[in-house]
Amino acid sequence: MRHDAVEVIAAKRDRLELSDSQIDWVIDAYTRGGVADEQMSALLMAILLNGMGRREVSRWTGAMIASGERMDFSGLSRPTADKHSTGGVGDKITLPLAPLVAACGVAVPQLSGRGLGHTGGTLDKLESIPGWRAGLSNQEMLAQLESVGAVICAAGDGLAPADKKLYALRDVTGTVEAIPLIASSIMSKKIAEGTGALVLDVKVGTGAFMKDLDAARELAETMVALGQDAGVRTVALLTDMTTPLGYTAGNGIEVAESVEVLAGGGPADVVELTLALAREMLTGAGRGDVDPADKLADGTAMDTWRQMIRAQDGDPDAPLPTAHETHTVTAPATGTLTRLDAMAVGLAAWRLGAGRARKEDPVQAGAGVTWHARPGDPITTGQPLFTLHTDDPDRIDRAQTSLDHGYDITTDNNPTSTPYQPTPLIHDRIG
């Protein structure tokens, strides 16, 4: 059926449900250049203001998938499962998770991205490993999934090209926050990727895109429904991003921390979340009988990591890049660290050169922030609290300014202080 852009815009403006044919037409026409940016901008704003029902979001996502290719892993000798995180500070979970799940007998086709703003990108982290390459052909990806069981690489231009255009437009039209558009953007790529099971790590807190638990739950429920409608076994965990994960935020320093986890150590919260997501992925792929903790303990996950890095031309034994300059921030008081704000840490890492303001900006492989205590830890005046890493010493002052109000130390001699109350790492499970 033939439609026109004004008709579709007016329908959503007037709070009407868009028909399947209207949705199919407008996504296809916009992808091919038949709908102007200003017209699609008006439609996106109408969606932000008036929302979409489950059928509309499902059809919108399907139309975005139909704009490009869809990968097929049915020929692999093992089932597939994937994970998507909505992004956070110190969120290096993909790095140990993919080889861990592969070591348990489930293939992980992890298409990842680069960072923008205060949240680090998985590809930026891995590119700090000498020689490692993110760009693989579909044939290379399939071969690596069969031989190694895990691949982390850049998504090709053929997956959901409609999303690429829409994402760029949302970024400059104030429509990024629309939950139907966030959900369809994420899920169109993940469904087109062809995985059999999908686990969503939806972050909530100061350092996350979703600051509010109710909004995060709505996003998770919308994405789980989209996955189910598309025949992909999908669950979501709502996880905390008020405090950054682990003890590092950056690129090379997060790789080093991930390797610690694979070696059987690492920060307790990173290990906890990695195992929780691994168990969900294995259950979704029909391998819930395997305990991933065993594969961390016996070194199998580390072996798979090394194979995965080598398969993409990286050297797992090469020293990771280090920053030319470091600066230590010491504790101003004795007491208990009761707050460490993820957003403040993320902004500091970004200002040090670990992230980018525009997609074309370079990043520093050695830049970032290391923190030496977590909320609940005792603190002594003068002890190292943060180490700032950068190649450019002129960046240090602005990074330190980001941290100035990003933590609280409750002193022992303050009778009105509130005792530290730990926050659960996993708030809820959806699906």
| DSSP summary character for residue 198 | E
């996950």: which residue's tokens?
Answer: 301
Task: Tell me which of 3, 84, 165, 203 is the catalytic residue.
Answer: 84
Q: In what order do the strands lie in the sheet with 378-379?
A: 378-379, 335-340, 407-411
Task: Tell me which of 3, 170, 217, 351 is the catalytic residue.
Answer: 170
Active site includes 84? Answer: yes
Q: In what order do the strands lie in the sheet with 197-204?
A: 81-85, 197-204, 233-240, 426-430
Q: How far is CA 174 from CA 42, 50, 170, 177, 337, in A?
A: 11, 15, 6, 8, 37
Cα–Cα distance, 34 to 26 (Å, whole number): 9
SS3 110: strand
Contacting residues for 383 by C-beta, under 8 A, at least 6 apart: 330, 331, 372, 373
Active site includes 189? Answer: yes
CA angle at residue 156 from 319 to 253, to 5 degrees? 20
Tokens of 84: 């998507």
Long-range contacts of 43-46 (CB under 8 A, 24+ apart): 43/5, 43/8, 43/9, 43/12, 44/166, 44/169, 44/170, 44/173, 44/175, 44/178, 44/181, 45/173, 45/174, 45/175, 46/9, 46/12, 46/13
Task: Tell me which of 24, 124, 163, 201 is the catalytic residue.
Answer: 163
SS3 146: helix
Active site includes 185? Answer: yes
Task: Tell me which of 3, 59, 118, 189 is the catalytic residue.
Answer: 189
Active site includes 55? Answer: no
Tokens of 222: 């919308």
Residue among 175, 164, 168, 165 at smallest CA distance from 43: 175
Residue among 185, 116, 123, 189 at smallest CA distance from 152: 123
Q: Which residues are catalytic?
A: 84, 163, 170, 185, 189
